[in-house]
Amino acid sequence: MIKFLVYIAIILAVFAIGYLVRVFELASSLKGNKPHIITDKDNKIMSKFMLTFLVVFFIFVIWNLKSFVPIMLPVSASEQGVELDWLFNFNMAILFFVFTITHILLFWFAYKYYGRKENTATYFPHSNKLEMVWTIIPAIVLAVIIIFGLKAWNKITQPASKDAIVIQLYAKQFDWTARYAGKDNELGASDYKMITSDNSLGMDPADTKGQDDIIVRNEFHIPVGKEVEFKMNAREVIHSAFFPHFRAQMNCVPGMTTMLHFTPTTTTAEIRKNPDVIRQMKDVNAVRAKRVIGTGDFTTGDDKPVEFNYILLCNKICGNSHYNMQMTVVVESEEDYNKWIASKKPYFSK
């Protein structure tokens, strides 16, 4: 009821402002003024507003940077992600520089060269030098960005080392399944025609390479400091495997296998001690402590505090339950990883 009254009040206020403007225009007309004709004085006032807006706008930009940069992702937890973070910051520095220069020029010109009756515009139809400047400089900058980007891309998509742990990530609406290559470090063959309720990945039981493959759901483990190669498949639509904390992402496409690899550098236990993560998780748990219910009231939640975990997400909108496609990733010491993987039985031995 209160929200409805607030909406009514806003609508009435808009109508009232409209009528006040109309009354002001009529009063000006009765006095002999012509409010629809823009004067030099009006232009000068608007030019000052432009300069004021420039200052206020950049204050707002600085406030946004100060407020939201600290709550972004913590430092990369993979070797490859460090370079990708540098590349992202490099791009943002270029964008912010161009953004700042162009906006200062835009509003300064609006302030300095506001319309005056005695002023006339200079006829300037073409300049070969100017065309060359704003064609060559952006081309050079873009070429540098693309070269750095391809270099980083090749590092995560080129064939992994022979010692890398091989894991298949299988995406379907709406969950993930991870399959470890087993002791031989080679995934067995699979075929969509073999998919059943008991064999959701369509694994071929006749392929000896797949006899030691291990399937896990809900969460999977990887060792710190060890290269991990992911081979990705999808069943019905395009999904996207996104590891935000490792700065890795790759589409999972039906009918083909896509790959990437990275080397984790920080265990789950270590990242939980990161000051940025501690602060962010305090904020998350503070929000969860108060839950909005249908009436708009707040109630205290009795859930246990949420601990930070690395996660695998689907970064393609793949259907109604897309938000459910999450899987916990546990990064641990190689010793703990070996104990965990030893506790899992191969799929075909069950």
In order of start, what are the domains of the chain with their CATH numbers? 74-115+128-158 (no CATH), 165-272+308-349 (2.60.40.420)
Residue 74 amino acid letter: P
- pTM comes to 0.78
For residue 1, the model assigns a pLDDT of: 63
Closest of 241, 244, 269 to residue 253, by C-alpha: 241
The predicted-structure confidence for 214-233, as pLDDT tens digits, reads as follows: 999 999 999 999 999 999 99
The predicted-structure confidence for 95-112, as pLDDT tens digits, reads as follows: 999 999 999 999 999 898
| Cα separation, 226 vs 263, whole angstroms | 6
pLDDT at 300 over 80: no
The predicted-structure confidence for 139-164, as pLDDT tens digits, reads as follows: 999 999 999 999 999 999 998 998 99
Closest of 195, 205, 174, 135 to residue 325, by C-alpha: 174
